[in-house]
Structure 1
Amino acid sequence: MNFTEVPFTDPNAARIYRDYMNRVRRIARKLDRATQQEIVMEINSHIYESFQGESNYAAHETEKLLDTLEHLGQPELFLKPLIADKAMDQATHTFNPIKVVRALILNLTNGISYFLFALCYLLLFSFLIAIILKEIFPTEIGIYSNYKNIFVIGSVEDQYQDLKLADEYFMPIMLVLSAVVYLIITFLLKIKRSLNRRRTA
């Protein structure tokens, strides 16, 4: 579906409308092209529908438009949580590390749930990197524990090599931990989407 501008006879109304839509596009630029278009079309449709039922709005279309835009609010404010949520959805579907980091940065101000997401992704990436490093440095990388049951995953100095635990099970342990963290992320996403639906219902 192609984007069609709302027609205005008053050049002031047309300028205000285009400026507002450009602000929406600029904010939505952080998302993929299809989602950008979806958001722009939704805002545009809302503006268009606000003029339906008006038999002769040309005489006061600037005033009507300003009322509509005031009702919508500043796009920099009301679109921020929507953009952040969409970015997180895209990041989790593609599992692109760059997109994940960008989504987490966008969501830093959105509460404790995204702190948990950031922590889980950090753990997940750490476990996956540990698997890769184990292949490259098989004798140096491992799971180490002292007598106080403090565990370290990674590399330690040579004098602590005797603290290495179950080296032959390193890969399975890392894979299990990665799977557990991934399941936690999926569970948190389901809870968040459910809460978002209740708020918008």
Structure 2
Amino acid sequence: MKAIQFTNKTAQKIYADYISRIKRTTATLNKTDREEILMELNSHIYEGMMHKTPSSEIESLVDVTEQLGAPEEILKPLIAQKKLEQATRSFNPKHIFKALVLNISSSVVYVFFALLYLTLFGFVFAIIEKIKNPEYVGLFFKNGNFHLLGTRNPANSEELGLTEVLGNWFIPVMILCIIVLYMVITLLLRLKRKK
């Protein structure tokens, strides 16, 4: 990006501050996205300055930047969208978490996706508990019907007539469920983003 040069030092300082705020606001994005946004806003400033009536550079620049708005506010939805694109391309949990946090304020649907991802941590917790207490964690059936997936109360489990059906297969099945659910949720998130 080529920086705009002003003859007035104060105008140059205002411009540099605005560009610095854009850079700070877009810092979580990848380099390509950051540069794209910076060039776009710089272009808006340049065009705005060209269409202003000859007055002081400071007044014109302040007017243009006020019309654009504060970078922290105007870029929030764009950054959330870019983070979501990055997350659904990479399947990286860190990017997905950041995208959800950024998007959670914009839609209730993203709250639902956040809850689905939190469900995955429940499966991880069940695996850890199965390692610690193998006889009290699993997929339990009672009289041939599903009763419980998770941890049973050791005090009254014998009188309930619960039978754990997966045994040593519980951990591999939970890992498979985590992988499949993670992929499905992320693909659904990708489809939601495309709408």
TM-score when normalising by structure 1: 0.73
Aligned to 1:156: 152
Question: Matched residues in 1 for 2:93 and 2:118: separation?
Answer: 10
The question of whether the paired residues in 2 share the 8 Å contact of 1:134 and 1:142 is answered with: no
**How much is the aligned-residue C-alpha RMSD, in angstroms?**
3.3
**Aligned residue number for residue 197 of structure 1:** none
- Letter matched to residue 167 of structure 1: L
Larger Rg: 2
Task: Please tell me whether the aligned partners of residues 104 and 111 of structure 2 are also in contact (alpha carbons under 8 angstroms).
Answer: yes
Q: How much does 1:146 deviate?
A: 5.9
Range with bigger deviation, 64-73 or 160-169: 160-169
Report the 3-state secondary structure (helix = DSSP H, G, I; strand = E; otherwise coil) of the residue aligned with 2:56.
Answer: helix
Distance 2:141 2:165 in 1: 11
Secondary structure of the 1:13 match is: helix
Residue in structure 2 matched with residue 121 of structure 1 by the alignment: 117
How far is the alpha carbon of 1:192 from its aligned partner?
3.0
Alpha-carbon distance between aligned partners in 2 of 1:102 and 1:191, rounded to the nearest angstrom: 17
Are 1:106 and 2:102 an aligned pair?
A: yes
Q: Gaps spanning 5+ residues in structure 1: where?
A: 195-201
Query: Residue 29 in 1 paired to residue 27 in 2?
Result: yes
Alignment of 1:86-101 (within 5 A): 86-101=82-97
- Cα deviation 1:8-35 (Å, max 9, x = unaligned): 1122221111111111111111223332
What CA distance in whole angstroms lies between the structure 2 residues aligned with 1:177 and 1:136? Answer: 17
Give the counterpart of 2:57 among 46, 61, 64: 61
SS of match in other structure, 1:85: helix
Indicate yes or no: 2:192 matched with 1:191.
Answer: yes
State the distance in 2 between where 1:20 and 1:166 align: 62
User: Given the alignment of the two structures, is residue 19 of structure 1 paired with residue 14 of structure 2, yes or no?
Assistant: no
Of 37-46 and 13-22, more deviation after overlay is shown by 37-46
Residue aligning to 1:83: 79
Measured against aligned partners, the alpha-carbon deviations of 1:77-130 in whole angstroms (never above 9, x if no partner) come to 111111122223223333333333333222331220210120121123433x26
Three-state SS of the structure 1 residue aligned to 2:138 is strand
Compute the displacement of 1:142 (Å): 1.5
In the alignment, the residues of structure 2 paired with residue 144 and residue 11 of structure 1 have an alpha-carbon distance, to the nearest angstrom, of 74
Find the aligned partners of 2:147 and 2:107 in 1 and give their Cα distance.
31
TM-score by length of 2: 0.75
CA contact 2:120–2:181 (8 Å) conserved in 1: no
Give ranges in structure 2 of 5+ residues lacking alignment.
none
Partner residue of 1:9?
A: 7
Cα distance 1:178–1:164, how it changes in 2: closer, same or farther (>3 A)?
farther
